[in-house]
Amino acid sequence: MGQTAPVLTTGQVLTVFRSRLRPETLSEYAEAAAAMSALAASMPGHVDHKTFTADDGERVTVVTFEDRATHQAWRDQADHRDAQRRGREEFYATYSIQVADVTYVSEL
C-alpha cells in the first residue's frame, strides 16, 4: 500500500488551544462553546476544528484557517473576543494557545 505524498499548502494557520475548565462553570461553558463552534464554522476561511478531552480533564481544541488573514479575522471577531474575555474571567482554570503556520498536509 503506497503512502501519499505531502500536499504543499499556501499558508494555512493552525491553532492549538489547551485548557482546563473551572468545574463550577461547566453548564455555562457548554453553551458558550457551542455558540463559538458554530460561529467559527461560519467564518470565511475556516477549514476545520475539533475538541478533544483527555482522561485527566485537559481539553484540546485544534482549529485550522486557510491563511493568516482569515485566522486573524476569527481571532478579532467581536463575539469571539467577548468569549475570550469570558474564558479568562469565568471558565478557564488554565489555558495556553499555540499558533503555527502549516507547511504541508499529508492525507489518506
What global pTM score does this model have? Answer: 0.85
How many whole angstroms from its chain centre is CA 70? 13
Q: How is the chain split into domains, by residue range?
A: 19-102
Q: Pick from 75, 79, 98: which is nearest to 39 by CA?
A: 79
- 75 vs 92: CA distance, rounded Å: 18
All three cell numbers of 13, joined, read 494557520
pLDDT value at residue 8: 59
Second CATH level (architecture) for the domain 19-102? 2-Layer Sandwich (3.30)
Across the strands, what pairs with 108?
none
**pLDDT 10s digit of each residue in the chain, 108 long?**
556 666 656 689 999 999 999 999 999 999 999 999 999 999 999 999 999 999 999 999 999 999 999 999 999 999 999 999 999 999 999 999 999 999 888 777
**Beta strands 92-101 and 104-105, pairing class:** unpaired
